[in-house]
Homo-oligomer: A and B are copies of this chain.
Amino acid sequence: MNNNATGEAPAGAHLQVIPLGGMGEIGKNITAYRYEDEILLVDGGLAFPDATQPGIDLIIPRMDYLLQNAGLIRGWYLTHGHEDHIGGLPYLVARLPKIPIYGGALTLGLVREKFREFGIKDSDVDFREVEAGDRLNIGRHFQLDVFRMTHSIPDNTGYVLKTPVGQVVHTGDFKLDEEPGDGKLSDLARLKQAGDEGVLLLLSDSTNAERPGRTPSEAEIARNLEEVIAGCRGRVFLTTFASQVLRLQNILNIAHKLGRRVVIEGRSMLKYTQVAQELGFMEAPEPFLTSDQVAGLQDSQVLFLCTGSQGQPMSVLSRLAFGNHAKIALKRGDSVILSSNPIPGNEEAVNLVINHLYEIGTDVYYPPTYKVHASGHGSRDELAEVLNLVRPKYFLPWHGEPRHQINHARLAQTLPQPPQRTLIARNGDIVHLEENEFKVTGTVPAGAVYVDGLGVGDIGDDILMDRSAMSQDGIIVLTAVLHPTPHVEIVSRGFARANAELDGEIRRVALEAVTEGLRGKRRLEDVRDDMYGQVRRFVRKATGRNPVLIPLIVD
């Protein structure tokens, strides 16, 4: 295995598939295809931090491999407009030469909006709008056929990639929705056609590889939402992922039918509805109103579409639930609908919001009691359907954690024409592909770059460990001042309630260590270490806690 930023110089005619994000995880999707001296990139997403990454705003893929091979990149294809597929782009493109970026109208619209926020000029970017059915020739070796797949955002695609070694099919994110909001079905015929021609490798969405059956259609969710909303007598506040443009369209239609005017609340909800309308992916039956404008309407004539489906503290729904929204106050008789599930890690935050909504006296509707949300990713029967159509020789379960990848792989083995070989790959693996060869031959650097405030990449795991340690038992700063006579000052945060007696004892222990050290004419660093060690032991014994200790000596 080699491990350098450039990867192996491909010797002999073969394709390298190099996932740089999204393989063995859900988030920050980016995949590089390399054939000889040409690279095609697909997607450039971000991920959100988990509980072990406190204070981090978002996570983007390491781009060492891209920087080292920047001159080889021929094109960048974007499957759809979700953050985990396009959210990393502002950070990535800024450090790369101008590369043609291909994507659907909505996808590019959302990327444009994002670039605008980051101050990236249109003239610095080479956008190329595509639509399902298009054939792209990228570089000398890649031919990419775009096909439609249904998902929880419109304008979502997969592609057939023709390469000198054979055909690769990548589903992109998908579910096989038989009644999508816009009536545009997944192009199963194109999958079958590729399968009939022969597919060397399939990359397919593993997110729901543990869920039996089929994921419910958006139409079913719309029917359930309509039933719930029709039963509400007061105001309705509905939250969902702002990127759920098809569902938002259904909700606008339902509101219109039930005689409710719609108010959009929250930055991302405003952004998505605006971009989607501008590009023709959403049509509001009636103009949106502001919260001031609906003040004169009856409660039963209003529906607020708002952010906050994940319990985010500054979102509209959280501010409503905790009673600190500047303009709107919830009241008994209002109904709140969460057309969403908590993403893993957000369960506690969402639960807190729901409890507060109950305490206010609102009626609250959410899954699983009310079936008002469905995943955007297909379940096992849909994954099997795709595998049966494509019948790939080799298989890479993609877009999933190991549990999802491995269950997807096992599912494939149960089908009539199972793949000859399946690899459970990870980010950074160099997957070597030719007609009769499918193996991991090495790795390139891959992993997480943390974005925190304005800093990109200046936070490492050591710093996250410090943060976690301080959150557990706090911190004590000991300042030993040597002149005119040695004495020790103590300051703490997050350690314990102000306790003069304990502080006094800690200072005494610290001062003893310092006095002893000075008497023994030890070096100041050694005196500092003595103070550190003895205070640490004392604190642990006295309190059972292990705060971060910062010993300072002022000479």
Asked if A355 and B403 make an inter-chain contact with CB atoms under 8 angstroms apart, the answer reads yes
> Is A471 interfacial (CB 8 A cutoff)?
yes
Asked if A496 and B364 make an inter-chain contact with CB atoms under 8 angstroms apart, the answer reads no
Q: A515-555 vs B: 1/0 string, CB under 8 Å?
A: 00000000000000000000000000011110010101010
Asked if B491 and A552 make an inter-chain contact with CB atoms under 8 angstroms apart, the answer reads yes
Q: A399-441 vs B: 1/0 string, CB under 8 Å?
A: 0011100100000000000000000000000000000000000
Q: A471-490 vs B: 1/0 string, CB under 8 Å?
A: 11111010101010000010
Asked if B455 and A466 make an inter-chain contact with CB atoms under 8 angstroms apart, the answer reads no
Q: Which residues of B contact A182 (CB under 8 A)?
A: none
Asked if A463 and B403 make an inter-chain contact with CB atoms under 8 angstroms apart, the answer reads no
- Bound together, the chains give a CA A463 to CA B481 distance in angstroms of 27
Of A35-43, A48-56, A214-222, A239-247, the stretch lying at the interface with chain B is A48-56
Q: Which residues of B contact A347 (CB under 8 A)?
A: 344-345, 347
- Bound together, the chains give a CA A189 to CA B467 distance in angstroms of 56
> Is A263 interfacial (CB 8 A cutoff)?
no
Please give 19 more A-B residue pairs, beta carbons under 8 A apart, in addition to A55-B471, A344-B351: A54-B471, A54-B472, A55-B545, A344-B347, A356-B402, A452-B473, A453-B545, A454-B542, A454-B545, A455-B496, A459-B496, A460-B497, A464-B494, A470-B493, A471-B471, A479-B479, A479-B552, A481-B554, A493-B548
> Is A286 interfacial (CB 8 A cutoff)?
no
Also in contact, A355 and B401, with CB within 8 A (given A55-B471, A470-B494, A491-B552): yes
Asked if A474 and B479 make an inter-chain contact with CB atoms under 8 angstroms apart, the answer reads no
> Is A123 interfacial (CB 8 A cutoff)?
no
> Is A369 interfacial (CB 8 A cutoff)?
yes
Nearest Cβ on chain B to A408's Cβ, whole angstroms: 12
Candidates B358, B458, B475; contact of A497 at CB < 8 Å: B458
> Is A499 interfacial (CB 8 A cutoff)?
yes
> Is A283 interfacial (CB 8 A cutoff)?
no
Q: Which residues of B contact A468 (CB under 8 A)?
A: 471
Asked if B494 and A402 make an inter-chain contact with CB atoms under 8 angstroms apart, the answer reads no
- Bound together, the chains give a CA A471 to CA B499 distance in angstroms of 23
Smallest Cβ-Cβ distance to A489: which chain B residue:
B552
Q: Which residues of B contact A127 (CB under 8 A)?
A: none
- Bound together, the chains give a CA A130 to CA B176 distance in angstroms of 60
Asked if B403 and A474 make an inter-chain contact with CB atoms under 8 angstroms apart, the answer reads no
> Is A354 interfacial (CB 8 A cutoff)?
yes
Q: Which residues of B contact A454 (CB under 8 A)?
A: 542-545
Also in contact, A55 and B452, with CB within 8 A (given A355-B401, A552-B489, A554-B554): no
Smallest Cβ-Cβ distance to A346: which chain B residue:
B347
> Is A385 interfacial (CB 8 A cutoff)?
no
Candidates B459, B477, B545; contact of A455 at CB < 8 Å: B545
Nearest Cβ on chain B to A115's Cβ, whole angstroms: 19
Smallest Cβ-Cβ distance to A359: which chain B residue:
B402
Asked if A477 and B552 make an inter-chain contact with CB atoms under 8 angstroms apart, the answer reads yes
Q: Which residues of B contact A354 (CB under 8 A)?
A: 403
Nearest Cβ on chain B to A510's Cβ, whole angstroms: 15
Smallest Cβ-Cβ distance to A467: which chain B residue:
B494
Asked if B473 and A470 make an inter-chain contact with CB atoms under 8 angstroms apart, the answer reads no
Q: Which residues of B contact A453 (CB under 8 A)?
A: 473, 543-545
Q: Which residues of B contact A481 (CB under 8 A)?
A: 554
Candidates B466, B483, B494; contact of A474 at CB < 8 Å: B466
Q: Which residues of B contact A356 (CB under 8 A)?
A: 402
Asked if A471 and B470 make an inter-chain contact with CB atoms under 8 angstroms apart, the answer reads yes
> Is A322 interfacial (CB 8 A cutoff)?
no
> Is A65 interfacial (CB 8 A cutoff)?
no
**Using a CB-CB cutoff of 8 Å, which residues 336-373 of chain A contact chain B?**
344-345, 347-349, 351, 354-356, 358-359, 364, 369
Candidates B348, B463, B471, B552; contact of A344 at CB < 8 Å: B348
Q: Which residues of B contact A493 (CB under 8 A)?
A: 466-467, 470, 475, 548, 550
Smallest Cβ-Cβ distance to A54: which chain B residue:
B471
Give the most central of A453, A466, A494, A543: most B CB within 10 Å.
A494
- Bound together, the chains give a CA A356 to CA B403 distance in angstroms of 9
Nearest Cβ on chain B to A49's Cβ, whole angstroms: 11
> Is A495 interfacial (CB 8 A cutoff)?
yes
Smallest Cβ-Cβ distance to A410: which chain B residue:
B363
> Is A299 interfacial (CB 8 A cutoff)?
no
> Is A210 interfacial (CB 8 A cutoff)?
yes
Q: Which residues of B contact A483 (CB under 8 A)?
A: 483
Q: Which residues of B contact A496 (CB under 8 A)?
A: 455, 458-459, 463
Nearest Cβ on chain B to A288's Cβ, whole angstroms: 31
Some 20 contacts from A to B, beta carbons below 8 A apart, are: A50-B348, A51-B51, A55-B494, A55-B545, A210-B369, A344-B351, A347-B347, A354-B403, A453-B543, A453-B545, A454-B545, A455-B496, A458-B497, A463-B494, A467-B493, A470-B471, A470-B493, A477-B477, A489-B554, A493-B550
Asked if B55 and A473 make an inter-chain contact with CB atoms under 8 angstroms apart, the answer reads yes
Nearest Cβ on chain B to A44's Cβ, whole angstroms: 22
